[in-house]
Amino acid sequence: GHRMEWTTYHQLADIYGYLDFLAETYPDLCSVQTIGHSIEGRPLKVLRISNGKLNAPAIWIDGGIHAREWISPASVTYIIEYLVENSERLETDYYILPVVNPDGYDYTFTVDRLWRKNRRKAGYAGCSGVDLNRNFGYKWGGKGTSKDICKDTYAGSKPFSEPESDAIRNFFEISSANFKAFLTFHSYGQYILYPWGYDNRLPPDYVDLDKVGREAATAMKKAGGSVYTVGNSATTLYPASGGSDDWAKALPKLKYTYTIELRDTGKYGFLLPARFIIVTAKEALAAVQIITEACKTV
């Protein structure tokens, strides 16, 4: 394993090398668990950061479910670095999967910078890939999804048909962690989105999600200067079903579920230059800190 810096975007092997470095260097704080494998056989590596406090609230953070959204894994690894370097007063356990879609991520470095989906092969040439953020099992196959494997929002053949989404489901089924929040980082648009995403409806506790979301937006502005729009996913952005966020919100006791769309608002879009990594990641970290505090009083 090895250290990391945030002046360029890193390939998958670098990100995995960094997770392994942390587990080697801080064995009392960090451990790496492979929760499954991608469709092309790459490991799905989750970093657990915990100082072993009993019954601590737990937060799930992921990135890179969409291959081309490079600022997401970059920001998530920056958050990891901060949490590890400031672990003295850590009262929360974090489970962090920086790259949900490692095959797609690799493909954006080698073949097609704007690839979104995973790398499932179609039965014929030309099209491939499932949108992993349409493949989760809550309200699967509804609005904002496609049955056509050639489309960027192809939901897959059935709920959790993909090893990447299935590994996350399985991890939550067997984990004994006390999950209170589920944060999934995307780009772009600068939004803090809460459920539901499948349709124009609100969960019963949406007032709490909205309030904490607005607190997070304020902290993000202070941290890096960007304005983040807070709201219900389906109304603020568009309806799209089978997302990981809706599935997580439907789990018992998991309250604070957000999709955070990082920088920018369209000038560079998915091609955000690397000089914006650190400032964007500082904004992302500010959101994590606000949500961490909120979880302590659930």
Give the catalytic positions in this structure.
261
* 193 near ligand 0X9, rule: CB under 6 A: yes
Under the criterion CB under 5 A, does residue 186 sit at the interface with Zn ion? yes
CA 40-141-145 angle, to 5 degrees, is 80
Window 69-88: residues binding Zn ion (CB under 5 A): 69
Neighbours of 114 (CB within 10 A): 11
> Applying CB under 6 A, does 263 fall inside the site for ligand 0X9?
no
Q: How far is the CB of 142 from Zn ion (least distance, A)?
A: 18
Q: How far apart are CA 10 and CA 219, in angstroms?
A: 27
Q: How far is the CB of 8 from Zn ion (least distance, A)?
A: 21
Among 50, 77, 133, 257, binds ligand 0X9 (CB under 6 A): 133
119 binds, among ligand 0X9, Zn ion, none (CB under 5 to 8 A by kind): none
CB of 237 to Zn ion, least distance (A): 10
Contact (Cβ atoms closer than 8 angstroms) between residue 65 and residue 19: no
Closest by CA to 175, choosing from 14, 50, 293, 68, is: 50
Residue from 22, 216, 240, 285 touching ligand 0X9 (CB under 6 A): that is 240
197 binds ligand 0X9 (CB under 6 A): yes
Strands 191-194 and 256-262: antiparallel
Residue 66 touching Zn ion (CB under 5 A):
yes
- Residues forming contacts to ligand 0X9 in the complex (CB under 6 A) are 66, 69, 133, 186, 193, 197, 233, 237, 240, 243, 245-246, 259, 261
